[in-house]
A and B are shown apart, each in its own frame.
Chain A
Amino acid sequence: MAVTALKSSARPATRDVSAWERLKVNRNWLGLWFMLPAAAFLVLFLAYPLGLGVWLSFTDAKIGRSGIFVGYENYEWLWDDSIFWLSVFNTLLYTLVASTIKFAVGLYLALLLNENLPFKAILRAIVLIPFIVPTVLSAIAFWWIYDSQFSIVSWTLRHLGFISGNIDFLGDPWNARWSVIFANIWRGVPFVAITLLAGLQTVSPSLYEAATIDGASSWQRFRYITYPLLTPIIAVVMTFSVLFTFTDFQLIWVLTRGGPVNATHLMATLSYQRAIIGGQLGEGAAIATAMIPFLLAAILISWFGLQRRKWQQGESND
C-alpha cells in the first residue's frame, strides 16, 4: 500500500524532470546543442556545396540558368580538351616541384634556425613574415619583380654581365612556369620551416650528445636521429603543403591569369575561367570535381608513404 503510494507520487515527478532536464543535462542532447552552430555552418556552406558541385558537374548549368542532367557529357568534353590536360600537367608539375623544394629548403632552414643563434626569436619572427602577408599582395610584389622591362632581377644580372637582354619572366611558357613555382616556394617555405622547427625543438639534445660520443657524423645524426623523430610531423606538414599547392589559385591569378597561352593554368584557375568568366558552371564544376581524386591520391601518398616509414623503423604503427 505504502509502496504503491510512493510509486504513484514519484512517477510524475521523474517525468517532469525527464522532459526538460534531459535536454539540459543529458550528454548527448547537450552535445547536440553545443555542436549546432558549427554543424549548421559546415553543412550549409561546406557539405551541401560539395555535393552540389558534384551534381553541377553532371549538368549543363550556366550562370543564371539551372541546368539539366546531361550525364558524363562535361567529362567527355574535358577528356578531348587539350587545355584541360595541359592544366593537369601544370598542376602536377607545380605541386611536385614546389612541394619538393619547399620541403628541402624548409627543413634546411628549420635545422639552421634550431642551431644556437643570437636573436633566435627575432629571426624566427622574421622568417614567418612571407606567410603573414596576404598572398595576393606579395604576389603583386613578385609581379613587379618579374616585369618584362623593369625587372630588378634582369637589371642586376645585366649589370653583373650574365645576360645581355632582359629576361621575359612571365611572357615565355617555361619561364612563366618556373617563375610562379619560385613565388610559390617563397611563400610556402616559412610555413614548412616554422612547423618543422617546432618539431625539432621537441627532440632531446641528449640523443645528439650520445650519438656524437659514439662517433656519428653530422649527416648520420640527421639521418638516424632527427629524421625518424621528425617523420610524423613531416607527414602532416607535407600533407597540408601538397594540398594547398595543388589547389593554389591566388598566385597564378595575380601573376599570369593562366597565360601565356594557358601555359600556367592550374586546374583551379581553369575552372574559375570556365565557370565564372565563361559562365559554363557545369564545365567548371567538372574540372573542380576532377581535382578531388588527385587530391585524395596526394593526401594518401604523403600520409601513408611517410607513415609506413615510421612502421618500417619498428615503431608502433598507430
Chain B
Amino acid sequence: MTDILHKTSPSVVAAADHSEGMSYLESLPRRLITLYLPLSVILLVLLFPFYWMALTSIKPDDQLLDMDKVNPFWTTAPTLKHFYTLLFQTNYPLWLWNTMFVAIGATILSIIASVLAAYAIVRLRFRGANWVGGAIFLAYLVPPSILFIPLSTVVFQYGLFDSPFALILTYPTILIPFSTWLLMGYFKTIPYELEECALIDGASRWQIMTRIVLPLAVPGLISAFIFCFTLCWNEFIYALTFLSTTSHKTVPVAIVNEFVDGDIYRWGSLMAGALAGSLPLVILYAFFVEHYVSAMTGAVKE
C-alpha cells in the first residue's frame, strides 16, 4: 500500500481512490466468481425474452415450428414478412396512433394538473397543504384493479364508453398522484429567495410559477412527462374494459384480443407486434435514461 502511494503522484491517488474504492482488496479471479458470473447470469435471464421476441419476429414460419432441423437459437433466412403483415394487413398503425393519442393527451392533462397542485402544496402552503399532500400520496396507493368495475359504470354514465376520451380522462387518476409527488420534490429544491425577489418586483403567483419555477424545474418536468407517457402506454385493464370497437383499441389490448386466433403461424406476427409496440418506449428511454431513473427513484425517495 505504501509502495503504491510512493510510486504515484498525490492527485492520481485521489482520483484512483475515488473511482476504485476498496476494490484493490479483491483479486480478479475472485471478482469473476462473485461479481461477473452472477451479473451475467441475471442479465442473460433479463434480456433473453427480448432476444427471443426479436428472433421470432424475423424467423420464417417453417423455421418457427421446426426445431429439429434448424438450431432454434438462430435463423438462417431472416424475413420481414411478419412486419409486413402487421403494417399492411391489420389495423396495427391505427392502434399505434390510438395509443400515442391517448398517452399524449392523458400525460399533458396530468402534467398541467400536477404542476398546479405541486406548486400550491409546496409553495403556497395554504391551510391544510400537508394534509392534501398526504391524501395525494394515498391516491397513489389505490390500484386500478379495484377501480375498474365502478369506473366502467361511471364512464358509461358520462357517455364516454368506447371513446378514447374515456382513457384520457381516467388515466390521470394514475398519473396525477405520481407526478405531483415527483414535482413536489423538484419544487422544494428551488430557493425561496428567487420567488421573494419576484414578489417584491410585483409579480403575481401565476407569473412566478410560469416564469421562474417552471424553467428551473425542466428536468423534473421531463422526468414526469416520460414516466407518465410510459405508464399510459403500459396501461391495460382500463383500456380492456372501456373500449370495445376494434379500431378504437390501444396496442396492448389489440394484440392480446385481435391476434390470438386459432392460427398456429400467428407467433411471428404476434412477436412482431409486441416488438413494434415496445420500440417507441425503448427509444424514448434510450434518450432519457437519467431522467427516467430519477423519476423512478425520486418518487420513491420522497
Which listed residue, B120, B121, B170, B255, touches A137 by the CB 8 Å rule? B255
In the complex, given contacts A66-B153, A112-B38, A288-B145, what are 12 additional A-B residue pairs having Cβ atoms less than 8 angstroms apart?
A: A30-B124, A52-B153, A115-B23, A117-B39, A132-B292, A133-B281, A141-B53, A150-B67, A198-B301, A272-B148, A284-B149, A291-B145
Nearest-neighbor residue (CB-CB) of B114 within chain A? A38
Question: What residues on A are CB-neighbors of B151 within 8 Å?
Answer: 45, 49
The answer on a CB contact under 8 Å between B293 and A194 is yes
Nearest-neighbor residue (CB-CB) of A115 within chain B? B35
Query: How many chain-A residues does the 8 Å CB contact rule pick out?
Result: 98
Indicate the size class of the contact surface on chain B.
35 or more
- Interface, chain A (partner B; CB < 8 A): 24, 27-28, 30-32, 34-39, 41-42, 44-50, 52-53, 56, 61, 66, 105, 108-109, 112-113, 115-117, 121, 123-130, 132-138, 140-142, 144-145, 147, 150, 152, 155, 186, 189-191, 194-195, 198-199, 205, 208-209, 212, 233, 236-237, 240, 243-244, 246-250, 253-254, 268, 271-272, 275-276, 281, 284-285, 288-289, 291-292, 295, 299
> Which residues 47-79 of B sit at the A interface, judged by CB distance below 8 A?
47, 49-50, 52-53, 56, 64-65, 67, 72-73
The answer on a CB contact under 8 Å between A145 and B136 is no
The answer on a CB contact under 8 Å between B141 and A243 is yes
Q: Does B177 sit within 8 A of A, measured CB to CB?
A: yes
Question: What residues on A are CB-neighbors of B233 within 8 Å?
Answer: 134
The answer on a CB contact under 8 Å between B285 and A52 is no
12 CB-based A-B contacts, threshold 8 Å: A30-B126, A41-B113, A42-B136, A46-B147, A49-B151, A52-B154, A147-B267, A208-B22, A236-B301, A254-B256, A285-B149, A291-B145
The answer on a CB contact under 8 Å between A42 and B300 is no
Q: Does B221 sit within 8 A of A, measured CB to CB?
A: no
The answer on a CB contact under 8 Å between A152 and B52 is yes
Which listed residue, B23, B172, B278, touches A134 by the CB 8 Å rule? B278
Q: Does B45 sit within 8 A of A, measured CB to CB?
A: yes
The answer on a CB contact under 8 Å between B150 and A28 is no
Question: What residues on B are CB-neighbors of A147 within 8 Å?
Answer: 267
- Please report the C-alpha to C-alpha distance between residue A134 and residue B251 in the assembled complex, in whole angstroms: 10
The answer on a CB contact under 8 Å between B43 and A126 is yes
> Which residues 258-299 of B sit at the A interface, judged by CB distance below 8 A?
267, 270-271, 273-275, 277-278, 281-282, 285-286, 289, 292-293, 296-297
CB distance from A303 to the nearest CB of B (A): 10
CB distance from A249 to the nearest CB of B (A): 5
CB distance from A299 to the nearest CB of B (A): 7
The answer on a CB contact under 8 Å between B145 and A108 is no
Given contacts A136-B252, A275-B149, contact A141 B52 (CB under 8 A): yes
Question: What residues on A are CB-neighbors of B210 within 8 Å?
Answer: none
The answer on a CB contact under 8 Å between A48 and B154 is yes
The answer on a CB contact under 8 Å between B300 and A281 is no
Nearest-neighbor residue (CB-CB) of B17 within chain A? A205
Question: What residues on A are CB-neighbors of B248 within 8 Å?
Answer: none
CB distance from B166 to the nearest CB of A (A): 10
Given contacts A133-B278, A134-B281, contact A292 B72 (CB under 8 A): no
